[in-house]
Amino acid sequence: MHSTSKTTRATLIGLLAVLLWSSIVGLIRSVSANFGVTGGAALIYTVASILLLLTVGPSKVRAFPRAYLAWGSLLFVAYEMCLALSIGYASTNRQAIEVGMVNYLWPAFTMVFAIVFNGRRTSWLIAPGLALAIGGVCWVLGGDAGLDAAAMASNVRDNPLSYGLAFAGALIWASYCTVTARIANGSNGVTWFFMLTALALWVKYLVVDGPALRFEAQAVVHLLLAAAAMGFGYAAWNVGILHGNVTILAGASYFIPVLSAALAALLLDTPLSFPFWQGAAMVCAGSILCWLATRQSAQ
């Protein structure tokens, strides 16, 4: 009985991570508006690193396999920079939410990469799953018109940097998940990776001569919330994966795109059209189909 309650508690902590991660798009956008794109991101990862040091503890870097230290560091830092900067560079709040949706192609890509590079067995569901996820993002990018190629192309042309970074981020995170599954050997470098990300962002901030940082009460509150969502999200997920019900957590994580859009719309006071929600639902459904494709074949 005690073991069951411990598992349930760990699962609930893992589910908290899903909620925290779902708030990240809106919070990053809010912090970027107050502190600038690079300065805001650097502050988020700096505070999150401190929170991780206090909760997860320092990473045992010397014990890491060398391949994990090298590839894990490179891919993690590259992804986090793509995520934060793609949202920050968005022209409008609506575009920031759309960019976040492009980023959520990573679950579907992760399954495809696991099949191609790790030899994961799969079923025919993988094809419609990937098509549905990509189709959902295209639906979102079509704006109020829904699945409209001209509207989608016009939208992407308006800010190719943001959309490009988000798409690159989805590919990079899928690569990170695929590579580290093979070479991590039980290591958890999240604290170290966050510190490296903060360092890389401060270097970019100093090199491009970013604007002076102005600390106002509301801006600081949003900064602390964003850092907590980032840092505690990873810490909570780690507890859930190690001690909770992994099946429940995996299933819940595929609903992050819809939750993220809902929380971002609320935080940024940005109404979203019905076609947007259709597209977001398609992204979720596509990711779930990809997941089912690998689960069915493994049974």
Dihedral over Cα of 165, 151, 90, 258: its sign: negative
47 in helix, strand or coil?
helix
Residue 199: domain span: 1-296
Q: Is the pLDDT at 128 greater than 80, yes or no?
A: yes
State the pLDDT at residue 1.
45
Among 203, 210, 179, 221, which residue's Cα sits nearest to residue 88?
Answer: 210
pTM score over 0.85 = yes
Residue type, 30: S
pLDDT in tens, 49-97: 999 999 888 888 888 889 999 999 999 999 999 999 999 999 888 889 8
The overall average pLDDT reported for the chain is 85
Instruction: Tell me the C-alpha to C-alpha distance, in Å, between residue 231 and each of 48, 178, 194.
Output: 5, 22, 8
Reading the block at residue 157, the tokens are: 């042309």
Distance CA 257, CA 103 (A): 9
Number of domains into which the chain is organized = 1
Which residue stretches of 23-72 are H helix? Answer: 24-35, 37-55, 66-67
What is the C-alpha to C-alpha distance for residues 294 and 289, in angstroms, rounded to an integer? 9
* CB 238 within 8 Å of CB 5: no
Q: In this structure, what token pair is assigned to residue 89?
A: 């560079």
Instruction: Please give the C-alpha separations between residue 181 and each of 70, 77, 126, 174, 178, in angstroms, as whole numbers.
Output: 14, 17, 20, 11, 5
DSSP code of residue 185: T
**Nearest by Cα to 102 from 149, 70, 136, 56:** 136
- Largest pairwise CA distance in the chain: 58
Tell me what pLDDT residue 290 has: 81
